[in-house]
Structure 1
């Protein structure tokens, strides 16, 4: 049985706004069926939204997510998709590790300033 979802169903299940879902439609990441003014989302749309949100959480842009999702419908694209996704994940991890290093350095600098101010305050 194919289950259909309304925009309200997706809003409630994923904790995003209707505006966010419509934005993903505008970006052609989701393509619901329309019956009059009502949007009906399929199980495939539900899975795509889950993947979009997961991609956003790890820092992928919508363009990157679109590129990843574009490989899904093509059965021969599975290996391409896995290679592409692995490459993107590794790039993102490298970026995050670099950001973490910068943040750690800034925290160390703040700690040093704080300690200096505390010493000045005691004297």
Structure 2
């Protein structure tokens, strides 16, 4: 990898530095092996590990522009630099719309320092987004762990002779019907019981599994092999 455009003066007088395009771009690094001067589309694709179709897509989104030397499509230094920025942004998961907004902001940058600062701010915003996503995933994992966490005595719910945690045949029957999604009213009808009796039975099952609701109780029973 080699660093490019450490100073904006390196390209201020190049043909591709035209009005309407950013005069200052953040200093990034280019893949090794790129030829000096205009880069053919095949070399551009190989260097950045993308397809020709991806390059065309970025052109359609006005992120880069290709020129021509005869019949050959080529990219000048400015667009190679833009491609390096796009690649870094995509590697950290920035959406295309966000990259477009970044490029629009870079067009307004009046100095190299401002361009670098804009890019760093975009990266920090993405970092905060990823941290928020990690927090959400962590919370969801905790919920799943709590859902499938076994009772203190993992055998208590499956053995009728081990005290208060044991399930009676009636409770197992109720649990199997709960797993089928039957409501308390339908449970009562199927088990020839009063609705309030079924509700009390269900509450006892939930308590024995240290669950918060019938769905957690059923999930734990399945994991413990009590029901299928």
**TM band (smaller chain):** 0.7 to 0.9
Name the structure 2 match of 1:112: 146
Alpha carbons of 1:93 and 1:75: their partners in 2 closer, same or farther (altered >3 Å)? closer
- Provide the alpha-carbon RMSD of the alignment: 2.9
Q: TM-score, normalised by structure 2?
A: 0.45
Query: In 2 relative to 1, CA 32–7 (structure 1 residues): closer, same or farther, beyond 3 Å?
Result: same
Q: Structure 1: where are the runs of 5+ without partners?
A: none
Which structure has the larger Rg? 2
Asked whether the 8 Å contact 1:5–1:41 carries over to 2, the reply is: yes
Q: CA deviation at 1:56?
A: 1.3
Matched residue, 1:93 = 127
Ranges in structure 2 where 5+ consecutive residues have no aligned partner: 1-34, 151-219
| TM-aligned CA distance change 1:85 to 1:50, over 3 Å | closer
Matched residue SS, 1:30: coil
Report the CA distance between 1:41 and its aligned residue: 1.3
Once residues 121 and 73 of structure 1 are traced to their aligned partners in structure 2, the CA distance between those partners, rounded to angstroms, is 61
Determine which structure has the larger helix proportion and give its number: 1
- What is the aligned counterpart of 1:34 among 62, 65, 68? 68
Call closer, same or farther: CA 1:47–1:120 in 2, change over 3 Å. closer
Match of 2:30 in 1: none
For each residue in 1:17-73, what CA deviation from the matched residue of structure 2 results, as whole angstroms up to 9, or x when unmatched?
Answer: 111100111111111212354211123322221110101122323233234345657
Listed one character per residue, the Cα deviations across residues 53-98 of structure 1 (whole Å, up to 9, x for unaligned) are: 1011223232332343456577724333233333322222221111
Q: TM-score, normalised by structure 1?
A: 0.77
Across the two proteins, how many residue pairs are aligned to each other? 123
For residue 76 of structure 1, the aligned residue among 105, 110, 114 is 110
Counterpart CA distance in 2 for 1:113 and 1:8 is 52
Aligned pairs (5 A) from 1:45-60: 45-60=79-94
